[in-house]
Structure 1
Amino acid sequence: MLNFSGIPAELQAPAQRYWDQFELALAQQNLPPVRDLLPAAIDAGSFSRQLTRAFVASEFIAKTSAQRPAYLLELVQSGRLFEAQTDTQLEAFAAVVNSCNTDAELDACLRRERQKAMIRIIWRDLNRLASMQEVTAELSRFADKSIAAAAEFHYRALEKIYGTPIGRESGVAQPFMVLGMGKLGAGELNISSDIDLIFTFPEGGETNHASRAISNQEFFIKLGQRLIKSLDTVTADGFVFRVDMRLRPHGQSGALALSFAGMEDYYQTQGREWERYAMIKARTVAMAGGVQQAEARQLLGKLLQPFTYRQYIDFSAIESLREMKGLIARQVQRKGMNLDVKLGEGGIREVEFVVQVFQLIRGGRDARLRKRKVPVLLPFLEQENYLPPGAGSALLEAYIFLRNTEHAIQGYQDKQTQSLPVDPVGQLRLAWVMGFASWDDFFAELSRYRQRVNSEFKAVIAAPDEEDSVDQQALAFWVGLWEGSLQGEDAIHALTERHIEGPAALLKNLADLREGRAVLSMQASGRTRLDAFIPRLLQVIVHEAFGPKLPITIAETFARVVPLIEAVARRSAYLVLLVENPTAVQQLVKLCAASPLIADQIAQYPALLDELLTPESLYAPPDKDLLRDELRRDVLRLNWDDLEGHMEALRYFRSAHALRVAASEVAGALPLMKVSDYLTYIAEVVLEHVLQLSWEHLVERHGRPRRADGSVDNAPDFVIVGYGKLGGIELGHGSDLDLVFIHNADSNLSTDGERAIDNTTFYTRLGQRIIHVLNTYTPSGKLYEVDMRLRPSGNSGLLVSSLVAFEKYQANEAWTWEHQALVRARVVAGDAALAEQFEQVRQRILSRARDLTKLRADVSDMRRKMREQLGSEAKGKNSAANAAKTPALFNLKQDAGGIVDIEFMVQYAALAWAHQAPEIIRYTDNIRILGSLEAAGLLDAESVAHLIAAYKAYRSTGHRLALQRQEAVLEGDHHFLSERQQVTALWHRLLDEV
């Protein structure tokens, strides 16, 4: 039946010998020839080729078949040899195990099924009937089922002796839980892998036996011991899986099974960095007995997640992984394992490290990185620009080649080894299995893959390359300056020689930082990181000062970074981030020098340093759809009831994207109008999410508001209306949000929950909840300052109005200034149908014909009051004693000819003429309203052009001043003279005819 066509002669004899033994065994046991059992769908020629390949490439298959021919016959006759493993087959296996009555029967059954499973899986792997991913997944699922079936058997057996373990707190039966680590946890078990396990259970307590009660921990330790024996012990039938328990808390000296409380205490107080690395792949692979298994599984995940994944960007993980890799590398060198395809240079472990370094650094913030499978994560890392273009796909190709090589090595004798063979026949066999004509050809291809892996590994995880000698000399100078070995006149002279302005100020800043409380109280490891960072920071500042040129002095730039350094002194992982990423330091210096507002933002929220790692995205803010997608990803890991988690995620999201906009503005990458657009998009996306978050909270407590037709609101019948800068799509840095809340529910009905409340109360509480989420201070600050004074009746009015009540107020009670505000009002979040209805109300109110004389008087009076209270003249009067010394000022916003004059003229024109030209109130932003006025022939083109130009110029200057943390007030009476004159002239034309 064997077909040796095309197979090297050196490989034929062993296969033929095992085939002869197999046929002899068939005859002795009176079993039919294998060809007679082939399913109709399997071609005899194809089977012969597969059989020959299996017997040549796997001594394990050939030898096991010769010793136990019934196994191969059963697999052939059932067709299972040629198909993927199914859930039905796994359940049938579990049923066979479940029918066992004694430990001996169980152990024999597990080993028989394991032998058949390995024949089938290795056969399919060698004949490329399954991909590497399918092979590892099938092995992992078989291991899961083996562990679960054996654990369930022993749980029942121990229950009969000691009773059921009952939780001390909950009073319910406790499950036995098995955590799979390493490749089992990842679902990537290899052909002859051991399995790394941890045993745990939810609660301490005792079993409920009347006379032989024992503690829950003792019960589960006994269960663990029995499980290991059933899986690991080598009998005449072999073994099931080699079990390694060394990854459990406290290692080999620790208890074999630990409660959740014990696990949590260990990982919070004693967990080491390498254990975080291991815990990335942890997965509950089996549970036995007890109740509430789903709840226990979820609770365990929540318990382990904070240890594994940090909420901040954790570059300190790189140091730990480097140390681990260094230990492995030294072990490889000592043991002569350089040809090990797993641990050697450019091997499987390096690919895994590349993936896991990103998981450890960013997995706390990006839940998508918490997947366990390497082949799934590599394309994702490239897609999200964590790896450069082409690197992810190249590493995946290499990983598959290396894993196939590992399987070919292990599948030969079912031995746990990853070492390349050194004997010529073994080398020839491996090359042939991998599809190469000779060992040299195979080894050349393997070396190419390993070189690529090692190159990518070094780019990601290896220590930064040593600077060249010139940079080293420069760095040594800054090290001396920071450490204080160079000081006084010598330091000033050395700085002056380097053409550094204000050397005394820089030395004072360095001394103040070095001797300040934040630095003096640092732990030794943190101080080491700071000492590595400061000289590099100074070097970058100087390079930027004499290269691209900083807008301020070196000393001033350093002073702006100092608050950040003090803020992260106790969280020195951020210093590692900066030491590891020179690009981030360069961006930090540029942005802090350009804007004290940006410097303050980063110091207040150091997590924003993550945004500096990728200049491509830092200077390219995403549009609204991409913002929605990003926020959705950020909160993917959070349940709706995790209010604190959502609030923190929202605050980071807002701060990070506001930083991108500010960075783009100072870099000149975004024009004024786009800056406001992007800041408005951020606010809108945040408000959409806050509305949904608040809705979910209220629905959970009170149910959904009912409607008159008997249905309920499946989404909020509610809108958030933005006024002012938000409504006008003109948000600036640090702008507050002018909001009005409107609902459309039937006030006579109530919600459908157990704690029902009337619909009006429900939507009022929804509004309160929204304000709470936006306004509450958290460790990350406030999301937005909210102003609700523009709602009907202002602060004395209802927080949330019905649409009917809103229209009634606007039609009968609203002041002219409230109608002016309505010109810039638009729905920014909420129900689309209600948003359309609101817009119709807005159009009706604004389109009413008005008494122009009264309108001009109302608008002029309001403008005069504002100017008197807020303009620069008012400030001058308040300091009359110093009036002679006070220079002339121009308040960009409030003074005559400024921004508010333009806004009031636009609002006046909209109210005056909307009844005859409704198209002028279609938009809410000033620029487009002015364009509409020109298009309608209501304002001449020259006037409109002057107003738009002035408006853009004022706002651009205001943005620039905001980034410098300066008020929008200019000294001297020479600023914007022509613009002010043109605006004032048009004001007189439109509004002074009273």
Structure 2
Amino acid sequence: MVEATKVELALKASDIPEVLAVELRLGWQRLLERCDSRQQQWYAKALTGPWQGEMLKAFACSPGLLEYCTRFPNILMTLADDGTLWQPLPAESWRPTLDAACAEALTPEEFADRLRVFRHRHWVRIVWRDVNRLASMEETVADLSHLADAAIQAAVDFHHQRLVTEWGEPRSGDGEPQHLLVIGMGKLGACELNLSSDIDLIFTFPKGGETVGGRRSVSNQEFFIRLGQRVIKALDAPTAAGFVFRVDMRLRPYGQSGPLVISAEALEEYYQDQGRDWERYALIKARVVAGDAAAGAELMANLRPFVYRRYLDFSAFESLREMKSMIQREVQRRGLQDNIKLGSGGIREVEFIAQCFQLIRGGQETELQARGLLTILRQLQVSEYLPHQAVTELVEAYRFLRNTEHAIQAWRDQQTQQLPSAAEARAGLALAMGFADWAAFETELQRHREAVAEHFSRLIAPPEDQSQAHRDELQHWRAVLDEPEQEALQQALEAAEFEDAQEAARLLNALLNGSAVQRMQPSSKDRLDDFMPQLLEALREAQQPTVALLRIIPLIEAVLRRTAYLVLLMENPGALARLVQLCDASPWISRQLAANPVLLDELLDARSLFHLPEKAGLRSELRQRLLRIDEGDLEAQMEALRYYRLAHVLRVAASEVTGSLPLMKVSDYLTYIAEVVLEAVLDFAWQGLTEKHGHLTADGRRHFVIVAYGKLGGIELGYGSDLDLVFVHDMDANAVSDGERPVDSSTFFTRLGQRIIHILTAHTRLGDLYEVDMRLRPSGNSGLLVSSFKAFQEYQDKQAWTWEHQALVRARVVAGDEHLAAQFSRLRREVLSRPRDVPVLLAEVVSMREKMRGHLLPAGGAEKNAQFDLKQSPGGIVDIEFMVQYAVLAWAHQHPPLAEYTDNIRILESLNTEGLISSADAQALIDAYKAFRSQAHRLSLQEQKGRLASTALPEQRAAVMRLWQSLMESEN
């Protein structure tokens, strides 16, 4: 009676609804009836203690929790007394605690009972903390997952030892002990278990063999099948003490019809040969939860290529779209609207959204290979695949739905995600979720589900609805392509205004009837058949459809075995239109795409394709890309650099051919790209050398710079330009590195230079980074690969030829030590600013110009062939460069600003500012230089040599020749 009064007083002081209070009073009485006097006193005291409200809310919202306390009165007492009821548990504490709890179990039955009591104890703790919001949703699911991990490993260890005494120890053919590997799938794999989750498992073992040392020898597979059966029983079989976790093995290879356990080799072979898209989807969250950690890591690494394709996997669209349709049909067929997991706007839809991006893009973007759903959603925002608002809504909805799921399951510890219909259960759910009543909760739930459903409906939606006329055109093209007679195709192409319909028809027939197409798998051939009508329709927008088709066909041929790229273009009509536009404009771009189809990804987003970041943005983007790669994986780093360079050069070319980027910016960006790449290359090379040999000094400086000459030095890089580089260091010759394998400074920097060249020029799957020319270093090819600063200075003072000082005009440091870079700049200015014998200088410069023209122009000169060579013909680019270099060497000692810049445009401007040439002459040379370089870029993108008709650009050529005669010949 006294205890009943205490309950009444406590309930009156609480916000527990009366509909829940009725059940709570009865439950309280049952609890006390099961308690001894000591336990009764403890509960009575707790009822009036500081956490009275927590207990009443936990009991009211979870009759299941109250039932466990009734069956095991000591559970709550020990949790409260040792403080774990209010403290988070470290992940590493679960297994030792469970081992201690099961230490004295001698039989499988005793072990199973102790395992169940341990589970109930922590279920009570987790529900108490969840209902009272003492733990976040993330902590709740992590605790449940840690509990499962510990229980699985304990069951594996216990039964492995018992089975070894019967059958001996399983060993591989080379005698290596073998252990069962347990792969946790789904929510367990992602550490996202709910309060009543099944655990989806796959059993495997590293290597085949047989047992050794037992009464009889059996195969490893037989051993592990028996072990797996015992583990399942230990976890899943209901006893008087209940169960631990329900175990579902249906995700294993071949499902229920397959063996319970197969070797890792057989597992890998199954996925490689027979794995389906839904199995890829399932393996996204897979994690080895028990067994040898090293063997498990190796297995998961071997399975990763099956889950995550190396390229953008747009082929998954069809399967994902079918999965999505199945989800929607299932909701309607089964009437799942009250199911917060499977119903519209439920948990499954949030998971599907995240995992779609993982399947499609995870192969290239390792950040998307994480298992946790919230981690993936945040990364999708960072990568700008989902807008901030969408991610915010999905994250909030997911947390709300998972908390709701836990509250539903906490009610009676039942495996359900169904919204309750009974008044008591509804009141308990609303209270657990922090709402005054069911109506308020339901309103908020509906808001979240509508947001999820909206984002889900937009996901992998079919390409935008096409007009009936467009669909008719595609059907027409398909019918024509299926027609065996070429005449019908040619007529259709003529009607579509292809400029050379006969040639276009011939190209198409050669492609579609070629051996490569005939050897295609049926599914791949179907994709090609779907793609070609869309391509032909898109080609109608080209200026020269037949030319564009000619340029696109090599790309199609390159992807016949990787038709996911065709799906990419079909799924993204804008990307297909941009492909046609760019290939119509430039054979160079089309060749780049055919050689590297992975670049098609760059066509997806017009914003990034045609809007280039400044140098800081380029550097940041590369840094972000490289952060995804293990620091020690040089091969992956080299591939990342090559993709980065290819992608950004493609963006520059796309911007130029579409007119959105002026000439000066084209060279600027191509130069910036090279500089950013060189910075990264130096970092990689330096890291590799210091890891191997240690550091040369303790001051943190590198004492090394990369000096760029020529077009890179002059900030005038073109699409096909190589890099003229010189390496310089300023380290004491007697310095020795401090690593385990020390080397002297000369050896260190020589190897550093060699490593830089290797990273730049090694041919990988994506080609090389840049061609490198080191001939401008002191003494050319016969000189040291890396010069000391002192030797470089002495060479410039005493041995350098005039042409080498000319080259120094366009020299600048592009990567390396800032202190040494400043020294180099001072030396360059000092060398360029020396007084010189001007007549001798002029004669040498003119003589070098004549030699160069005679060597580089065709026999008889370009003019003999009615052509103007943009670089070497009189009045061309090199004439301007030589005039500029002569002016700097002749006058910089009196006019220091001439030695400040390395690019011709700003030097010409300085010549005018210093009063050395008139504004009109300076502008004439600048205009001519820009015009010539613009033509050179255009010809490069058209894959033509740098020559024009002899009548081209007459005003610019005349101005250059007039000024050459005035400056370089009048005094000669």
Q: Which interval holds the TM-score relative to the shorter structure?
A: over 0.9
- Tell me the equivalent position of 1:644: 635
Q: Please name the residue that 2:239 is paired with.
A: 235
Secondary structure of the corresponding residue to residue 873 of structure 2: coil
Distance (whole Å) between structure 2 residues aligned to residue 179 and residue 537 of structure 1: 44
Name the aligned partner's letter for residue 517 of structure 1: S
What's the secondary structure of 1:197's corresponding residue?
Answer: strand
Give the TM-score normalised by structure 2: 0.92
Alignment equivalent of 2:880, drawn from 878, 891, 902: 902
User: CA 1:113–1:189 in 2, change beyond 3 Å: closer, same or farther?
Assistant: same
Relative to structure 1, the CA distance from residue 59 to residue 519 in structure 2 (aligned partners, 3 Å threshold; closer, same or farther) is same
Give the CA deviation at 1:524: 0.7
Change (3 A) 1:555 1:258: same
1:264 is aligned to: 268
* In structure 1, C-alpha distance between the alignment counterparts of 2:317 and 2:413, rounded to whole Å: 35
User: Which aligned pairs between 1:600-611 and structure 2 lie closer than 5 A?
Assistant: 600-611=591-602
* 1:267-306 Cα shifts (integer Å, max 9, x gaps): 3333322222122112233336xxxx4x435423422222
Give the whole-Å Cα distance in 2 for the aligned partners of 1:207 and 1:759. Answer: 57
Q: From 104, 114, 117, give the equivalent of 1:112.
A: 117
Other structure's SS at 2:183 match: strand
Alignment partner, residue 711 of structure 2: 725
SS in 2 for 1:390: helix
Structure 2 CA distance for partners of 1:278 and 1:639, relative to 1, 3 Å:
same
Misfit runs of 4+, over 6 Å: none
Q: Does 1:22 align with 2:43?
A: no
Aligned to 1:504: 502
The question of 1:814 aligning with 2:813 is answered no
Aligned counterpart for 2:893 among listed residues 909, 912, 915: 915
Preserved CA contact (<8 Å) 1:354 1:461: no
Moved more, 927-936 or 120-129: 927-936
Confirm or deny: 8 A CA contact 1:872 1:895 kept in the other structure.
Answer: no
CA contact (8 A) 2:481 2:489 kept: no
The Cα shift of 1:628 comes to 3.1
Quote the offset at 1:782 in angstroms: 2.3
Corresponding residue for residue 3 of structure 1: 11
Q: Do the aligned partners of 1:37 and 1:76 also contact (CA within 8 Å) in 2?
A: no
* Corresponding position of 1:988: 965
What letter corresponds to residue 36 of structure 1 in structure 2? K
Asked if the contact 1:691–1:830 (Cα under 8 Å) also holds between the matched residues in 2, the reply is yes
Residue deviations 1:430-467, cap 9 Å, x none?
A: 34544455555544543443333233223222434542
Q: Is the 8 A contact 2:483 2:489 kept in 1?
A: no
* 2:3 paired residue number: none
Q: Which moved more, 1:721-730 or 1:735-744?
A: 735-744
Residue 588 of structure 1 corresponds to which residue in structure 2?
579
Aligned to 2:4: none
Segment of structure 1 superposing worse, 60-69 or 576-585: 60-69
Q: Deviations over 1:390-413 (max 9, x none)?
A: 222122222222222222222211
Cα deviation, 1:413-440, whole Å, max 9, x if unaligned, reads: 1122122234455445434544455555
**Are 1:349 and 2:357 matched, yes or no?**
no
Equivalent residue, structure 1, for 2:377: 378
Return the offset for 1:905.
1.7
Structure 1: distance between partners of 2:745 and 2:256: 61
Q: Which of 165, 182, 185 is the matching residue for 1:181?
A: 185
Q: Go from structure 1 to structure 2 and tell me whether the alpha carbon gap of 1:88 and 1:563 turns closer, same or farther (over 3 Å shift).
A: closer
Q: 1:3–1:48: 8 Å Cα contact kept in structure 2?
A: no
Alpha carbons of 1:524 and 1:88: their partners in 2 closer, same or farther (altered >3 Å)? closer
Match of 1:704 in 2: 694
Q: Any residues of structure 2 matched to 1:718-757 within 5 Å, and which?
A: 718-748=704-734, 751=737, 757=743
Q: Deviations over 1:200-231 (max 9, x none)?
A: 44444455538666555455444433332222
Given candidates 714, 731, 750, the residue that maps to 1:764 is 750
Comparing 757-766 and 859-868, the one that deviates more: 757-766
- Provide the rounded CA distance (Å) in 2 between the counterparts of 1:88 and 1:693: 36
Residue 927 (structure 1) aligns with: 905
1:76-126 alpha-carbon deviations (Å, 9 max, x no partner): 333322333335753652342362342333322221221121112122222
Distance 2:550 2:416 in 1: 57
Partners of 1:669 and 1:508 lie apart in 2 by 35
What aligned pairs does 1:437-836 form with structure 2 within 5 A after superposition? 439=438, 441-464=440-463, 466-484=465-483, 488=487, 496=494, 501-542=499-540, 545=541, 550=542, 552-700=543-691, 702-704=692-694, 706=696, 716-748=702-734, 751=737, 757-836=743-822
CA distance in 2, matches of 1:250, 1:714: 58
Matched, 1:86 2:93: no
How far apart are the structure 2 equivalents of 1:423 and 1:750? 80
Q: 1:818 to 1:258 in 2, by over 3 A?
A: farther
Identical-residue share of aligned pairs (%): 51
| Cα shift at 1:531 | 1.2
Matched letter for residue 355 of structure 1: A
How many residue pairs align between the two structures? 961
Distance (whole Å) between structure 1 residues aligned to residue 20 and residue 518 of structure 2: 70
Is residue 26–residue 33 contact of structure 1 (8 Å, CA) maintained in 2? no
- Please report how far the alpha carbon of residue 606 of structure 1 lies from its aligned counterpart in structure 2 after TM superposition: 0.4
1:130 aligns with 135
Residue 728 (structure 1) shift: 1.3
Match of 2:45 in 1: 36
Deviation at 1:259, TM superposition (A): 4.1
d(CA) in 2 for partners of 1:186, 1:766: 43
CA distance in 1, matches of 2:748, 2:939: 43
Q: 8 Å contact 1:322–1:461 — kept in the other structure?
A: yes
Report if aligned partners of 2:62, 2:410 keep a CA contact under 8 Å in 1: yes
Q: Deviations over 1:296-342 (max 9, x none)?
A: 35423422222221111111122222233344444455544343222
- Identify which range, 391-400 or 943-952, moves more after superposition: 943-952
Question: SS where residue 41 of structure 2 aligns?
Answer: coil
Q: Taking structure 1 as reference, are residues 493 and 252 closer, same or farther at Cα in structure 2, changes over 3 Å only?
A: closer
> d(CA) in 1 for partners of 2:821 and 2:202?
55
1:409·1:420 contact (CA, 8 Å) conserved in 2? yes
Deviation at 1:659, TM superposition (A): 0.8
User: One-letter code of the match for 1:553?
Assistant: Q
Distance 1:223 1:915 in 2: 88
Give 1:794 shift.
1.7
- Structure 2 counterpart of 1:695, which letter? W
Q: 1:845 aligns with which of 822, 825, 831?
A: 831
Moved more, 674-683 or 428-437: 428-437
How far apart in 2 are the matches of 1:982 and 1:131? Answer: 76
Structure-2 change in CA distance of 1:622 and 1:13 (3 Å): same
- The offset of 1:601, in angstroms, is 0.8
User: Are the structure 2 counterparts of residues 629 and 106 from structure 1 closer, same or farther at C-alpha, using a change threshold of 3 Å?
Assistant: farther
Q: Which runs of 5+ in 1 are unaligned?
A: 878-882
Give the letter aligned to residue 823 of structure 2: Q
Which amino acid in the other structure matches residue 565 of structure 2? Answer: Y
Contact preservation (8 Å) 1:870, 1:894: yes
For the Cα contact (< 8 Å) 1:132–1:404, is it kept in 2? yes
| Maintained 8 Å contact 1:705/1:745 | no
2:927 match: 949
Distance 1:928 1:152, change over 3 A: farther
SS at match of 1:31: helix
Matches within 5 A, 1:75-474: 75-87=79-91, 90=94, 93-97=97-101, 99-102=103-106, 103-158=108-163, 165-169=170-174, 173-205=177-209, 209=213, 215-287=219-291, 293=293, 295-423=294-422, 425-436=424-435, 439=438, 441-464=440-463, 466-474=465-473
Partner of 1:519, secondary structure, is helix
1:944–1:467 distance in 2 versus 1, CA, 3 Å: same
Instruction: State the distance in 2 between where 1:212 and 1:62 align.
Output: 49
Displacement after TM superposition at 1:938 (Å) = 3.8
Residue pairs, 1:37-52, within 5 angstroms: 37=46, 44=49, 47-52=51-56
RMSD of aligned alpha carbons:
2.9
Deviation track 1:569-611 (CA, whole Å, cap 9, x = no partner) reads 1111111111111121121111111222111111111000111
